[in-house]
């Protein structure tokens, strides 16, 4: 065998080992950057970056409860009467308890489609509350909704201000004809 004239041996790393070593080095660099950003990253004032619930920074809307009766003690939808499907002979009841006492007037909007993507069948309309109300709650004959909206899925939104975007609460309900499955 031939040797180098100076007697040195060159370290030879096979191509597969070089590829594995390259990937390990890349992973180590990315992990080091991630750890550095986690430890040193944040806002300019030194506080941590906290993601917002959505692009506008507003909290997501709370959920409206639906049913066929309100509990007289709490003025919220009674546990035993909770449903989101109504037939024409039902009583339609809904309630929402905000974190703070609500204002004397709230605005209620109803849109076609469970996700509210359809047309507004009721533009935001003012609803008066008692001065000491802690809950936003109403009961009406479901027949009124069938007459005004027709049947199908709907989304209700409650606003605490007249030009209130985003909604403080929202929820989906369905008006079904009696020929369909009756309400639970």
Q: What is the pLDDT of residues 45-70, one digit of tens each?
A: 555 555 444 444 455 679 999 999 99
Tell me what the mean pLDDT of segment 178-184 comes to.
Answer: 56
Give one DSSP letter per residue of 67-90, joined into a string: ES-B-TTT-SBPGGGB-SEE-TTS
- Percentages helix, strand, coil for the chain (3-state, rounded to 5) are 20, 30, 50
Mean pLDDT (the chain) is 84
pLDDT band at 9, cuts 50/70/90? low
pLDDT at 27 > cutoff 70: yes
pLDDT at 6 > cutoff 80: no
Position 139 scores a pLDDT of 95
Nearest to 138 by CA among 111, 173, 114: 173
Of 2.60.40.1930, 3.30.70.20, 3.80.30.20, 3.40.50.300, which CATH number belongs to 62-175? 2.60.40.1930
Q: What is the pLDDT of residues 112-151, one digit of tens each?
A: 999 999 999 999 999 999 989 999 999 999 999 999 999 9
Position 167 scores a pLDDT of 84
Nearest to 66 by CA among 86, 45, 42: 86
If DSSP codes are grouped into helix, strand and coil, which group holds residue 16? Answer: helix
> Lowest-confidence range among 18-32, 66-80, 111-125, 168-182?
168-182
Tell me what the mean pLDDT of segment 95-114 comes to.
Answer: 94
Position 87 scores a pLDDT of 95
Residue boundaries of the structural domains of the chain = 14-51, 62-175
Position 180 scores a pLDDT of 54
In order of 25, 59, 100, 135, the CA distances from 162 in angstroms are: 58, 18, 17, 18
User: pTM for this one?
Assistant: 0.64
């Amino acid at each position: 065998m031939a040797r180098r004239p100076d007697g040195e041996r060159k370290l030879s790393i096979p191509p597969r080992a070089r590829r594995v070593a390259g990937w390990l080095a890349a992973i180590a660099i990315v992990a080091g950057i991630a750890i550095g950003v986690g430890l040193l990253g944040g806002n300019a004032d030194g506080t941590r970056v906290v993601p917002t619930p959505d692009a506008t920074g507003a909290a997501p809307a709370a959920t409206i409860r639906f049913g066929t009766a309100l509990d007289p003690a709490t003025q919220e939808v009674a546990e035993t009467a909770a449903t989101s499907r109504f037939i024409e002979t039902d009583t339609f009841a809904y309630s929402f308890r905000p974190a703070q006492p609500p204002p004397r007037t709230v605005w209620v909007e109803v849109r076609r489609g469970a996700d509210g993507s359809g047309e507004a069948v009721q533009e935001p309309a003012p609803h008066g509350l008692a001065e000491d109300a802690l809950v936003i709650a109403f009961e009406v004959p479901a027949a009124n909704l069938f007459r005004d909206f027709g049947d199908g899925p709907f989304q209700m939104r409650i606003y605490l201000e007249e030009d209130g975007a985003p909604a403080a609460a929202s929820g989906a309900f369905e008006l079904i004809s009696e020929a369909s499955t009756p309400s639970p």
